[in-house]
Amino acid sequence: MPEYLKIGINTVLRIDTQSPFSKEDQQALSLSAMLSWSNGWVLNTLDYIPGKVHNRRRESMKTSWGINNRDSALEVLNWLSTEGHRSTWNETFANFFEPSEFISNYANNLLYSEIALKDLGIIDSWEDVCKIDIDAWDWGRLVFLARYCYLDDYITEDEFWEYVRLAYSEVKQRYKNWAEYSNAYILGRFVWGGPQQNDEDLMLVHLTMLEEPESIWNKLPLHPQHVSEYEAQKSKILKKATFFIEHATPVWTLQNKLQQKFSLSKLFSSDKDAEEKGIRDYEKAKQYKQNGDTKKAREYFLLAAQNGRHKAMLEIATIDLKDKNYQSATEFYTMALDIPTLKMNGHFGLGLVAFYQNNMSVFQEHADYLHSHYSSVFPLNLYLQEGELLYAQKQYQKAITAYTKTLGYGIEDRFSVLIKLASCYVMLDERNEAIDVYAQAYYIQPKPKLIEIMVTLLLELKQFEPAKEWIAIAGENGWKDLEIDLKERLDDEVREN
């Protein structure tokens, strides 16, 4: 029977002390450590812990990667082997300020991730970003997906090892030590998706692999000749990421806050498997939430939070916010501020609470903080949410202010916001302003419906010449039926006047 060594406290990683594989193959398998952990996989063999995500892998592979047979598996694996996201990395920097949606998404992801990357010691300034590639992100995922595809019999064992050893060879050539590899992997992850709620898990695996003496990365150096350099770089990362290390201890500050708040009789478990219980409770909570039982969902989200599933606090706060339990929502959002990966969500939630309580000065404070620390995405979402709520309450003038602020932050989807803004003007019977805004939206996305709306408003205002111009534009775009219909309506209005 395999003997599994468990390393880490809040993040439990399993290593087989009797792995049958060579040191090089064990190192190669560890390239996917960040993803292997979340799937219950042993890091240095092909074993896995029954009952975890492994049992749902086919659905996950199809949904996330479009893999459901051998052909699709080979297509994705070969793409990661030859191109991946690394192929666009240089393009991103060469065209950093170009308006392309693809480039701007990558650029925004980087901007939003600045705080996390600095907290982890991966970068000290933006200049450091240019010195790190993201190849590791592709090679780590290649090992992960090859393992998945082999377990599902989409590829043979020989093909599996071919992909894994290719990734290992590339990593050995490119990086001096495991710290360099891990930094590049995390940077690639942030370039790909920006900050997300589960980033804390990724970061704790990263730190556990670097910190734990029994970790494969510490037992098997990537390049023995660079061990001293690795130790220095690792020391810097762990020093800068002290916050995360402290929060991985058995009884953590946040856990004490939760314990005091709910008068819990027991201390939080220091069992290394407590995290797995937190995961199970979190999954149960999501199921209850999906079934509409928010009371039971909240109960299990709280249990999950007690066992280190910190993002469960946001779920609790959201439930409390919907129930208008503003005091409790405020407490949970405030606790989220203690966790770097949840901090922006905490400010976002506190901004919403302030809005619901009509405390606009506090709302503005959180919006300003989000703008100054996380670029524009979260404050503009906060203003957008404000606009939606005000529109639903038929406070159209205030909604106009909120939508205008959203546009001022440089939102990419200006079209949707302009349509909502124009609707506010229509509801206030300010038709000239509505026409101007609809025209702005049209020049972003030319749609026949917009011309129909604008001509209708112009006819109501008896502005026949501008109406003729828009009807002509409809004809130029080939929308002949619309052109004919609008001409008839224009002729009728002219005859009546």
How far from 124 is each of 60, 113, 342, 456, CA to CA, in Å? 36, 13, 21, 56
Angle formed by the axes of helices 377-392 and 340-356, to 10°?
20
Q: What is the pTM of this model?
A: 0.51
Can you list the positions of beta strands (E) in 93-140? none
What pLDDT, in 10s, does the model give residues 192-242?
A: 776 654 556 677 777 778 878 888 888 898 888 888 887 887 777 766 555
Query: How far is Cα 142 from Cα 137, in angstroms, rounded to an integer?
Result: 9
Q: Work out whether the CA dihedral 468, 469, 472, 478 comes out positive or negative.
A: negative
* For the chain, domain boundaries: 4-246, 253-443, 446-497
Fold annotation for 253-443: 1.25.40
What confidence tier does 70 reach under pLDDT thresholds 50, 70, 90? very high
Question: What are residue 460's phi and psi, to 5 degrees?
Answer: -65, -30
Structure-model confidence comparison of residues 428 and 6, the more confident one? 428
Question: What are residue 155's phi and psi, to 5 degrees?
Answer: -135, 160
| Nearest alpha carbon to residue 391 among 381, 407, 379, 403 | 403
Looking up tokens 């592979």, which residue turns up?
A: 61
Q: Work out whether the CA dihedral 262, 265, 271, 274 comes out positive or negative.
A: negative
Angle at 394 between CA 389 and CA 396, to 5 degrees: 90
What pLDDT, in 10s, does the model give residues 285-306?
A: 988 988 889 999 999 998 888 7
- What pLDDT is stored for residue 123 in this prediction? 76
What pLDDT, in 10s, does the model give residues 347-370?
A: 888 988 988 888 878 887 887 777
Query: DSSP string covering 156-225, please?
Result: -HHHHHHHHHHHHHHHHHH-SSHHHHHHHHHHHHHHHH-S-TTHHHHHHHHHHHHH-TTSHHHHS-SSGG
- Cβ proximity of 136 and 188 under 8 Å: yes
Structure-model confidence comparison of residues 287 and 112, the more confident one? 287
What confidence tier does 409 reach under pLDDT thresholds 50, 70, 90? low
The predicted model gives 19-42 an average pLDDT of 86
Looking up tokens 């690795």, which residue turns up?
A: 230
Residue 414: CB atoms within 10 A of its CB come to: 16
Report the b/e string of 390-412 with b at 16+ CB within 10 A.
bbeeeebebbbebbebbbebebe
- What pLDDT is stored for residue 17 in this prediction? 81
Query: How far is Cα 17 from Cα 26, in angstroms, rounded to an integer?
Result: 11
What confidence tier does 35 reach under pLDDT thresholds 50, 70, 90? confident
